[in-house]
Structures are given as structure tokens and as C-alpha cells.
Amino acid sequence: MSRTALRICPLCEATCGLTLTVDGSRVTAARGDRDDVFSRGFICPKGASFGAVDGDPDRLRGPLVRRDGELREATWEEAFDAVAAGLRPVVERHGPHAVGVVLGNPNVHTVAGALYPPVLLGALGTRSLFTASTVDQMPKHVSSGLLYGDANAIPVPDLDRTDHLLLIGANPLESNGSLCTAPDFPGRLKALKARGGTLTVVDPRRTRTAKLADRHIAIRPGTDALLLAATAHVLFEEDLADVGALAPHLDGLAELRESLRDFTPEAVAAACDVDAEVPRLLARDLAAAPTAAVYGRIGSCTVPHGTLASWLVDVLTILTGNLDRPGGALFPQAATDRTPRPAGPGRGFALGRWRSRVGGHPEAKGELPLSALAEEIDTATEEGEPVRAVIAVAANPVLSAPDGDRLDKALESLDFMVSVDPYLNETSRHAHVVLPPPPPAQSPHHDFAFNTLAVRNQVRYTRPAVPLEPGRMAETEILARLILAATGMHGADPATVDAMVIDQTLRKAVREPHSPVHGRDPARWPPCSPARTARTAAGPDAPPRPLRRRVRRPAGRADPGEAARPSARHRPRAAAPRLPQPLKTRSGKVELLPEPIARDLPRLRAARDRRPAGLVLVGRRHLRSNNSWMHNIPALTGGSNRCTLHIHPRTPNASAYGTRPPSASRAPGERSRCPPRSRTPSGRAW
Ligand SMILES: Nc1nc2c(c(=O)[nH]1)N[C@H]1C(S)=C(S)[C@@H](COP(=O)(O)OP(=O)(O)OC[C@H]3O[C@@H](n4cnc5c(=O)[nH]c(N)nc54)[C@H](O)[C@@H]3O)O[C@H]1N2
Ligand SMILES: Nc1nc2c(c(=O)[nH]1)N[C@H]1C(S)=C(S)[C@@H](COP(=O)(O)OP(=O)(O)OC[C@H]3O[C@@H](n4cnc5c(=O)[nH]c(N)nc54)[C@H](O)[C@@H]3O)O[C@H]1N2
Ligand code: SF4
Ligand SMILES: [Mo]
């Protein structure tokens, strides 16, 4: 007998509501949930393949432990014994920084990944933290930290109300959006055009998104900061800058103007491969539109001058008066945020409080660049110990970090490595212990991160669609036990870690003077007393208690664990203006020309006259794939146009690169020739 269950899709940032058909413990179908308050039935091919992703036979069913050089099936007890035996000697002999923690992308898509890694890091005391964010959106965090004093204060384009969208280095028709949670992003772009709005896309490639645009600027890769600086220059030069109601919240407008003086359209045009008229058109479009939003993503972040480009995205929004106003870019207020602090000066944003040992890279948000992981393992210096053990949680850096070959070798040289990953793949194959989390249908879901980046203020939670299969362990419990094993408390009750997670959440809340619970004693908070933990008190189906505290009960429902389908009163609301409340800079204002940015501008000035020799390759995402995984799911491997190098037919000597122009690159109906990767059936030795 089949039944239906609701599940928020964890496969990208759009957070669509799915209706799953469940047969026993198997998900046999997935549809878009038409009643979902946010996604209203939207689904993409990945979401539609939820059942295949969930039931992928390549998923590991239990832990693996290396014995005699080979990874073999083991019990959970043996696995955590091996973690404790492997990690503790490294910490005791070489200190906490010798343990590298690598946090990959799926951590932002799981409840466990949101709540437990901070406890792991705090308990270990290591500074060797390497994250996927550093090959993704870190430049935006740094820019927001400097401008607004809060690395997480990222303005989100008001897609549904804007009159003009300038979209830079993003391809939401394939990615479904990022740092802008908007289920059915493609539909929202089409609606923009249908209501008479305009779309400009800046992308070296003619992407599906670019094809929708009224104006497509095919920029030379890595030069967006120059183009945007020239656009800002024109806003000043042609007297188009009008900050409107933002004026009292801004600091450094005159200095900003001065700093952009030599980024004239003529000075940047050659480097960007665009006509000098282009920045003028961009500036005039932005200034003329009743409202406009500027949105930059991967192509403006993970590129040379990514921090400056990210900063300039917001500079353009601010100079045209579009920050914090409907139709512009807004700071969402997630329903699960703690009560907003009152406006006023904050502590500011600290950058480079420590540096990586070998390359001297500054930390940002306590994170070091993933690109430095290999050198931190394979290079000895006088300053300190190399990383000798790695804890990788939901991370496949051998594929997703630069110079994966070097990392591949470096990981092999570690004293110990543990991977929390459902697959045996390019990275986890180096581990001594692999701890597989259950498939998504067996896990609860709530978007801690994406609700703070959403085009609607809303909150949803879904309980596991399927009970944990025998032999499976919830990812929260895996991480709790891993924390105990890593910190010399192996064998203690993992409920103590749950209690710690809850306690930390509550302590933060009671410390904040403006919080309605300020001054209360977390230990005496009856529903959350540390003695009553998530599992013991509520069973595996209930939301973890820190979550229950945060998820507001939808009207008329007693149990927030039910898929939230709030009443009309609780329909998602459009984000509203919030300034100056989100600002945490020392001045309490938007600091338009922060010192680290000003210090970096000469480097950008020098880039006006540089052109790299040879070809520059840019990445390409595909609608039916996801970062480093999902390659072997048959439902997602079909279709044409995959694993191909796209090259412009007019590229000099195109044929010398061994490829044909796109139109000729594949016979009609020809299937992808991507070789399957990492097809390692669970349980076999690697
Ligand atoms: N060449 C190139 N490199 C890139 C990019 C690119 O476009 N091109 N993109 C960059 C970007 S934006 C990002 S975010 C990174 C992403 O790169 P990573 O951070 O490596 O993330 P993923 O590849 O999404 O997944 C990492 C691992 O998580 C595992 N996983 C899946 N679900 C779960 C789960 O529920 N729990 C746990 N514990 N693990 C799970 C997967 O099996 C996989 O091994 O790659 C970056 N690197
Ligand atoms: N289907 C699918 N969806 C995904 C993912 C996936 O792998 N597959 N990954 C998820 C993740 S982790 C992320 S971070 C998001 C990313 O979401 P997006 O940023 O929307 O995704 P990309 O497709 O990487 O888009 C980047 C665009 O930048 C362009 N580009 C490259 N270099 C430059 C440049 O120098 N300047 C400019 N202006 N453009 C440039 C590329 O051609 C590409 O079209 O997608 C998420 N969603
Ligand atoms: S757009 Fe993203 S969240 Fe929505 S169904 Fe597709 S993968 Fe899932
Ligand atoms: Mo990403």
C-alpha cells in the first residue's frame, strides 16, 4: 500500500516542497507540492528524481572501517572505536590544529550540518577549518561583513517586484538560484518580463538565462569588477547616482566616488572585451528603472577580484537607491531568526584574525580556503604542525577543490581520516572510517540557512518521510558520536551532545539584551532542560529541540512537526525594508569604502591593462547534476549536451583544441558519454 508524505527538497537552494509517494520504505515518485506555501508545485528534474537519489543502490548502508589497508563493512560501534583510536593520538601528540575539518556543501541542506559542526569545532579548538564556502560565496560574505558589519547580511533581489534585474555570473535556469532562495526562479524571471520589466545578463556564455535576457553582455571571464566599477563611475559622472532614503545610513560616499575616478568606460573596455558604451548603458538602465536589483553569483564570486565584484554589486544597488526597498534588494527576516537586535553600532567584521600556516591566507568567518588544504597537509614549516588528520563532513574536495590531484595524494598521506558521506567516492576512499548518513527521506528537514536568503519571509519544517531503516543512524547522532570520539569522551551518551547543542542555542538567546527571553536560565527552561534530550523526550520523528524552539507554530496546529501549511494569516510575506537594523558596523552605518577594499583597488586598476594569454575555461553547471555527486543516478544521466567543452566557433584555432563548434559537437539524439564515476557498491573493499 502506498502513501504520500511531504518533504522539502534538499537538493538545491530553492527548497521546493515535494509530495512523495512512499511504498514501504521506498520513495517511488515525487511531485511538486501544489499546496506548498512557498514553491506552489514547482519541481525540477532533480527533485522529480528524489526517489532515485534517495534509493540509489550505490549509497552505503553501514559504516566502513579500514583494515589491512582495505575499507570493509563494520558495526557502528567498531566505527566509532576506530574514530576515537585514530583521532585522539593526533590531537594529543600534535595539538588541535593538526586536525583539519572540511565542511562541504550538503551541510547547508541538512539539520545535522547546521547544528552540530559548530560544536565539533568548538570542542576540538582547531583553526584548521576548510569549507566549500571558500570555493563559492565567501567573497560575498567578506563584502557584506565590510559593508554592513555582518557577513551574513546578504541583500536578496526582490525578484517578484523589481522592474529591472541586472544578473551577473548566475544561471538560475540551470542552478535554480543561489543566495536567493526562490522556488521557480525561471518562472519568476518570466513573470518579470511579462509585467514589462527588463533583464540584463552578464555572462561570458550564452546560457539559457542569457537567452531570456533583453540585454546579454558577453564579458571576458574574471573582469566583472572592472565592468561594475566603470558602471558605478558612470553613475557619478552622469549625475545618475541617487541614494534617496539611504543617505542617513551611508558613510564614505565622497570617498567612494573618488576611488572610482579612474575606472572610466574607456579604461576598462578592452580588458572586459566590451564596447565602452556598455557600462554607460548598464548605468542608465539601472538609474532609469523605477526599481532595480543587482544580483551577482558564482561567476562574480569565484573569479579574480571576486570580493571587489561582490562589493560593487551592492555599491550599484546603493547608488541607485535600491538597497532595502521593495523592488530592489532586501535583507530577509527569517521567521527562525532570533528577534532582531535594535539598530545601533556593532562590533564590526573581523578579517584575518589568523592566517593559514603555509600560504598565509587570512581566515574569514573562521574559515580557511579549501584551496589551501593540500599544502596544509603536505608541507612542513617552522611555524607549526601540518594537518595530520582530517574530518570531512559532506565534502568531496578531491573533485570540488582546485588541484584535486595534489589533494588526492595529500589525503593518502594522512595519519587518520574520517568521512561522513553516503558514498564511497574520490574523497571518502582515502578515509580510515566512512560514516554514512541515512538517505534524505529518512531525515527531517528545515532550512536554517536558506530562510535567511529567501525572497519570502516564511518557515517550513518536514519530518522524516520514512522511518530510519534498521542499521541506519540519524546524521545528528553520527555527528554527536563523532564529536564525543574526537574529544576524548568516546562512549558517553550522545544525548549529552544534543543537550549541548540545545544549551548553546538557548544561551545565545538569553544573552541578547533585546531578546524576549533575556536573562532566563536555560537550565531551568522546562521543555529544554538538558536532561530531556531530543531523542529521549520526543522520539526520532520530532524536530530536534533547538528547532522546535525556533519553528513558530503555524496557527491552528498543535505540532510543528507536521508539514507546515500555515493558515492564510501565516502565508509567506514579502521581505520588508529593515535598515538600519541589520547594520553591525562600528559606525552603525553602511561603510561604503572599507579599508581592505580600498587597499585592493590598485590591484584592480592594474588589471585594466592585462589580458591572459590563451584560453580561459569557465565552469558549467547542469540542470540534472549536482556539484560532485549524482553522476550515477540513471534518471539524471540522460540528455544531450553533457561533459562537453563549449567553445565559440570564432575562437582562433578552435579546431586546435580538439573540439568542434557546439552545433556540431553531438549528433542528434546522441547520449552523454560521461564516464560513470566512483561506482563502488557498498560493502565491497575499495
Ligand atoms: N570545477 C568546479 N569546482 C567547483 C564548483 C564548480 O562549479 N566547478 N563549484 C563549487 C561550489 S559552488 C561548491 S558549493 C562546491 C561543492 O563541493 P562539495 O562541498 O564537495 O559538495 P558536493 O559535491 O555537493 O557534496 C559533497 C559530498 O557530500 C555528500 N553528501 C550528499 N548528501 C549528503 C548528506 O545528506 N550528508 C552528508 N554528510 N553528505 C552528503 C556527497 O556524497 C559528496 O561526496 O564545489 C565547488 N567546486
Ligand atoms: N542543477 C544544479 N543546480 C545547482 C548546482 C548544481 O551543481 N547543479 N549547484 C548548486 C550550488 S552549490 C551553487 S553555488 C549554485 C550556483 O548557482 P549559479 O551561480 O547560478 O550557477 P552557475 O551555473 O555556476 O552560474 C555561474 C555562471 O557564471 C558564468 N561565469 C563564469 N565566469 C564568469 C565571469 O568571470 N563573469 C561572469 N559574469 N560570469 C561568469 C558561467 O558561465 C555561469 O553561467 O547552484 C546550485 N544549484
Ligand atoms: S529546484 Fe532545487 S529544491 Fe526545487 S526540486 Fe529542483 S533540486 Fe529540489
Ligand atoms: Mo555552491
The DSSP secondary structure of 2-65, one letter per residue, reads EEEEEEE--SSTT--EEEEEEETTEEEEEEE-TT-TTTTT---HHHHTHHHHHT-TTS-SS-EE
How far, in Å, from the CA of 533 to the mean position of ligand 2?
Answer: 40
The residue whose grid cell reads 574523497 is: 427
Partners of 686 in the beta sheet?
none
Residues 301 and 139: beta-carbon distance below 8 Å: yes
Is 305 close to ligand 3, i.e. is its CB under 6 Å away? no
Residue type, 337: D
Is 12 close to ligand 1, i.e. is its CB under 6 Å away? no
Ligand with smallest separation from the Cα of 393: 1
Task: Report the phi/psi class of residue 442: left, alpha or beta, with left for phi > 0 and alpha for psi in -120 to 50.
Answer: alpha
More confident residue, 24 or 573: 24
Residue 476, pLDDT above cutoff 60: yes
Residue 371, pLDDT above cutoff 60: yes
Residue 424: burial class (beta carbons within 10 Å; 0-12, 13-18, 19+):
buried
Residue 546, pLDDT above cutoff 60: no
- At 1 the pLDDT is 83
The residue whose grid cell reads 556598455 is: 278
Distance separating alpha carbons of residues 257 and 422, to the nearest angstrom: 51
How far, in Å, from the CA of 20 to the mean position of ligand 2?
Answer: 28
Mean pLDDT of 170-195: 98
Which residues touch 668 (CB under 8 Å, ≥6 apart)?
Answer: none
Distance separating alpha carbons of residues 152 and 453, to the nearest angstrom: 9
Q: Which helix (H) or strand (E) holds 420?
A: strand 416-420
How far, in Å, from the CA of 11 to the mean position of ligand 3?
Answer: 6
**Residue among 207, 297, 621 whose CB has most ligand 2 atoms within 8 A, to mutate:** 621
Read off the C-alpha cell for 216: 546579454
Is 181 close to ligand 3, i.e. is its CB under 6 Å away? no
How far, in Å, from the CA of 229 to the mean position of ligand 1?
Answer: 32
How far, in Å, from the CA of 19 to the mean position of ligand 3?
Answer: 12
How far, in Å, from the CA of 173 to the mean position of ligand 3?
Answer: 11
Residue type, 474: A
Is 394 close to ligand 1, i.e. is its CB under 6 Å away? yes
The top-scoring range by mean pLDDT among 451-460, 465-474, 641-650, 665-674 is 465-474
What predicted TM-score, i.e. pTM, was given to this entire model? 0.92
Distances (CA, A) of 418 to 65, 246, 275, 421: 9, 49, 52, 9
Which residues touch 223 (CB under 8 Å, ≥6 apart)?
Answer: 268, 271, 272, 273, 607
> Which atom of ligand 2 is nearest to 222's Cα?
35
Is 53 close to ligand 3, i.e. is its CB under 6 Å away? no
Is 16 close to ligand 3, i.e. is its CB under 6 Å away? yes
Is 630 close to ligand 1, i.e. is its CB under 6 Å away? no
How far, in Å, from the CA of 398 to the mean position of ligand 3?
Answer: 25
- At 649 the pLDDT is 78
Residue 188, pLDDT above cutoff 80: yes
Residues 374 and 406: beta-carbon distance below 8 Å: yes
Ligand 3, atom 6, residue with closest C-alpha: 44
How far, in Å, from the CA of 106 to the mean position of ligand 1?
Answer: 6
- At 235 the pLDDT is 98
Q: Which residues surround ligand 4, an ion (CB under 5 A)?
A: 136
Distance separating alpha carbons of residues 167 and 157, to the nearest angstrom: 10
More confident residue, 224 or 532: 224
Distances (CA, A) of 357 to 121, 127, 360, 363: 18, 10, 6, 11
Is 46 close to ligand 3, i.e. is its CB under 6 Å away? yes
- At 574 the pLDDT is 83
Confidence of residue 658 (pLDDT cuts 50, 70, 90): low
Distance separating alpha carbons of residues 675 and 59, to the nearest angstrom: 19
Ligand with smallest separation from the Cα of 116: 1
Ligand 1, atom 8, residue with closest C-alpha: 619
657: DSSP letter: G
Is 626 close to ligand 3, i.e. is its CB under 6 Å away? no
How far, in Å, from the CA of 377 to the mean position of ligand 3?
Answer: 36
> Which atom of ligand 3 is nearest to 47's Cα?
5
> Which atom of ligand 3 is nearest to 32's Cα?
5
Distance separating alpha carbons of residues 232 and 237, to the nearest angstrom: 9
The DSSP line for 143-202 is HHHHHHS-TT---EE-TTT-SEEEEES--HHHH--SSSB-TTHHHHHHHHHHTT-EEEEE
Residues 295 and 213: beta-carbon distance below 8 Å: no
DSSP β-ladder status, 445-446 and 461-462: antiparallel
pLDDT more than 90, % of the chain: 75
Read off the C-alpha cell for 143: 563584502
How far, in Å, from the CA of 105 to the mean position of ligand 4?
Answer: 6
The DSSP line for 499-517 is HHHHHHHHHHHHHSTTSTT
Ligand with smallest separation from the Cα of 183: 3
More confident residue, 481 or 565: 481
- At 522 the pLDDT is 80
Ligand with smallest separation from the Cα of 220: 2
Residue 552, pLDDT above cutoff 60: no
Is 205 close to ligand 2, i.e. is its CB under 6 Å away? yes
> Which atom of ligand 3 is nearest to 11's Cα?
7
Contacts within 8 Å (CB) and 24+ apart, 263-266: 263/226, 263/229, 263/230, 263/232, 263/233, 263/604, 263/605, 263/608, 264/230, 264/233, 264/237, 265/230, 265/233, 265/234
More confident residue, 337 or 399: 399
Ligand 1, atom 36, residue with closest C-alpha: 394
Is 110 close to ligand 1, i.e. is its CB under 6 Å away? yes
Is 10 close to ligand 2, i.e. is its CB under 6 Å away? no
> Which atom of ligand 2 is nearest to 624's Cα?
1
Is 47 close to ligand 3, i.e. is its CB under 6 Å away? yes
Residues 280 and 235: beta-carbon distance below 8 Å: no
Residue 178, pLDDT above cutoff 70: yes
Confidence of residue 511 (pLDDT cuts 50, 70, 90): confident
CB atoms within 10 A of CB 359: 13
Distance separating alpha carbons of residues 166 and 198, to the nearest angstrom: 9
Confidence of residue 686 (pLDDT cuts 50, 70, 90): very low
- At 106 the pLDDT is 98
**Among 67-71, 572-576, 578-582, the least confident range:** 572-576
Mean pLDDT of 571-594: 92
